[in-house]
Each structure stands twice: as C-alpha cells, then as structure tokens.
Structure 1
C-alpha cells in the first residue's frame, strides 16, 4: 500500500473539499491518502514546519492568492512553495491558481519550477485526477493554459523577484516609501530604483504609486 501524505492550501474551503473528493474518488486501489488542509499562510507555515520536524509531505498543493501571514513574511502561495522546497525537499510542489497572464506563469516557473502547475479554469475532475497521478510518477505536469502561454511568450518574460514583490505588498498595505527602510534591508536610493523599474515593467505612465499598485493587482502580483 502506498500511503501518501498531502497538504492542500487554499483560502476557499469548498475548493479544497472539491479537490479532496476528486483525489479520494480517483486514487488507485493501492493508494492511501492522508490529506491536511490550510486556509491561510499562517496555518500553512505551521504545518510545513511541523512536517519538517516530525514527518513529511509527499505532495503540497498551493493556491497563489492567499491571506498573508500576520507578520507579513509570507504573502502568497509562492512564498509558501519556496518554504516547502527548503523545509521539505522531497515533497512535490503543485501550484493551482486563477491567474493566467503569461508573465505571471513565467514568473512562477522561474521562481519555483513546480512539479505541477494547474490553472483553475482549465481543471476538470478528470484532469486533476490525471495530473495527480502524473506528478507522482513523472513530473512536471502543466495544464493547457500554461503550455500555451509558454509557447507564445517564451521570449517575452517579465520577472519580479522577492524584494520587488515585498515592496509591492508593503505599498499595498499603506506603508509609505520612506518607511520601507524599516522592512527592507536596502538603501532609499536602491528602493527608489526598484520602484522605477517596477513602474517601467508595468507600463505605469503617470509615475504614481497608486497606478503601480492597480497594475500589479490586475496582473496578480498583489
């Protein structure tokens, strides 16, 4: 019997319930699934750290859009995926998201290189079941939207690193630029340079932070 320990992280309980029902209904006869769930970054961090100390996860499913941790250290499923890759190096990482913009897809692949990458609008019960078995045996598995965007935009990649994502998150929380020094170990000139780069990246013509945040939110970075 193959006993599989699974972590599913999504802030919508009904979605997690749907995933669980599909996997339980389509698992092979020799598979036994033990599934833990978390609805936010704080819960997921606790479970990942606990697993690294006492047990393990074979697969971790992360939604990208999640409520941030109370300390602001983890702001998305991307952050949790990186934590899991560090704490649980043998776990297979699966990303599920509604975001389907090409640069968002490329950014996730470059930052995380997940074992599975599924766009929720692509998913049927059958595809989730197929993806699960494929990821176990021969990762990676990318859903159709991911494949199509990679083919079309392979030379048009937008990359936002951890520091830039943290700047965007802090600004979105109402923190002023001058106060970013309290949260990010960079000089003010380096922070200003990164903000300018972000505005160029997101085609912000008016130079306003508000417009930058609107564009970043529209593209799924906040």
Structure 2
C-alpha cells in the first residue's frame, strides 16, 4: 500500500532545496509517495501551512532552515520562530531543523524550544545523511547529526537559554530600534526591558554596556 507523505521545505537558497528534493525522491522507499512544497521565507511557509490545515491535508514533515529572513510583519525573526509556530498549528508534523550554527548553546536552545525530530548541521550534511535522517524521522525519531550529538554529549557549564522575549529584544536592537522604543514592540515595561538587557549582557559577557557590542556577540553566537 502506498504511503503518501506531504513535505514542506523552507530554505531561502533554491539550489539547496533542489538538492534536498532530488535526494529524497531518489532515495525514497518504493511504497512512499512524496509531495514536496517549497517556501523561501517565513511568510510563504506560514501561508502554505495555514492552507494545508484549511484543506485538511496537513504536512507530515517540515524541513526548516534556521537562518531565514524575518517575516514582513516582524512577528518571526528566524526559522526558529517559524518552527515554534509549526509546532502549534501542525502538532503531528515531524520537524527537521537545518542550520549552519554549531555552537553548543545554540544547539541546546533549539532542542529546548523546538525539540525537533531531526536536527542537521548543514556542514555535516551529505545526501546519504539526509536520506537516513528522513527515514529515521518518519519511523524512529529523533535523528541528530554528528555535530549535534557530540555537543549534546559535552556537559555545558553554563546552559545559555535565550527565551522568546530576549531573542525579540536582540532582533529589534539589531534593526536599529532604540531601547526606549522597544516598549511599543513588546508587551513589557521599560524597566523589565532594561532588566532583560542587563541579563543578556551578563550572558554574552558584554563589559562595555554598549548595544552594538551586545548585538555583535549575539550575532557571533548565532542568536540574531
């Protein structure tokens, strides 16, 4: 009996998506029938997800690149936000996260916030690993690539978890928005924002108190 699998691939590099598609179609099992939709940004992905739900044909598997440009309304600053949205609206879908970031705390953060069924570091990725990850995620999740597993095995002295509000603060600051104007974008007071910024400076070991340095350090570690 044919097993129909509906897939949404989200990446802003068309060549990469083409490679993923070809690999999956070439390595799928004979009983599997794959339908693959493509989105190049958060807005397209949300539209396709919502449409799949309204048609009662929800996606079974999502490939989500973390480094996506923000959505036009600013509600999503990366693929991480998109994956969190997918978790809410497509609770039965398997999520495979793909990222270039390979810092320990970034990896831990994604596992804590999204808990993906698949987690692949792009620099590790081969066609064989993508094919293995896809089949494992369908029938025996999770599947984590080598780099992810080695980071998870290391015990991290300071487990840096940046919550949603703090990531939004970092994102807005990186867009050049002044601290005093953050209140209109976040439903918290200015003193709460200042407290969070102080905490972020401690996390990223920013000594000079400058927003530019904070943004720089957060960007280096893949949070922006």
Matched, 1:35 2:36: yes
- What's the TM-score once normalised by structure 2's chain length? 0.97
Q: Distance in 1 between matches of 2:115 and 2:186?
A: 26
Q: Distance in 2 between matches of 1:220 and 1:53?
A: 34
Give the corresponding residue for 2:65.
63
Q: Is this contact kept in 2: 1:102–1:153, CA < 8 A? A: no
Give the corresponding residue for 1:173.
175
Give the corresponding residue for 1:22.
23
Give the corresponding residue for 1:162.
164
Q: Which of 189, 197, 222 is matched with 2:191 structurally?
A: 189
Q: Which runs of 5+ in 2 are unaligned?
A: none
Q: Which of 213, 216, 219 is matched with 1:217 structurally?
A: 219
Give the corresponding residue for 1:135.
137
Count of aligned positions: 222
Offset from partner CA, 1:161-181 (integer Å, 9 cap, x none): 000000011111111000001
Q: Which of 115, 118, 123 is matched with 1:116 structurally?
A: 118
Q: Which moved more, 1:150-159 or 1:101-110?
A: 150-159
Q: Which runs of 5+ in 1 are unaligned?
A: none
Give the corresponding residue for 1:13.
14
Give the corresponding residue for 1:72.
74
Q: Distance in 2 between matches of 1:11 and 1:174?
A: 24
Partner of 1:67, secondary structure, is coil
State the 4+ residue runs in structure 1 displaced beyond 6 angstroms. none
Offset from partner CA, 1:121-175 (integer Å, 9 cap, x none): 1111101101100000010110000000011134431100000000011111111
Matched, 1:97 2:99: yes
Q: Distance in 1 between matches of 2:158 and 2:67?
A: 24
Partner of 2:154, secondary structure, is helix
Cα deviation for residue 49 of structure 1 reads: 1.2
- Superposed CA RMSD in Å reads 0.8
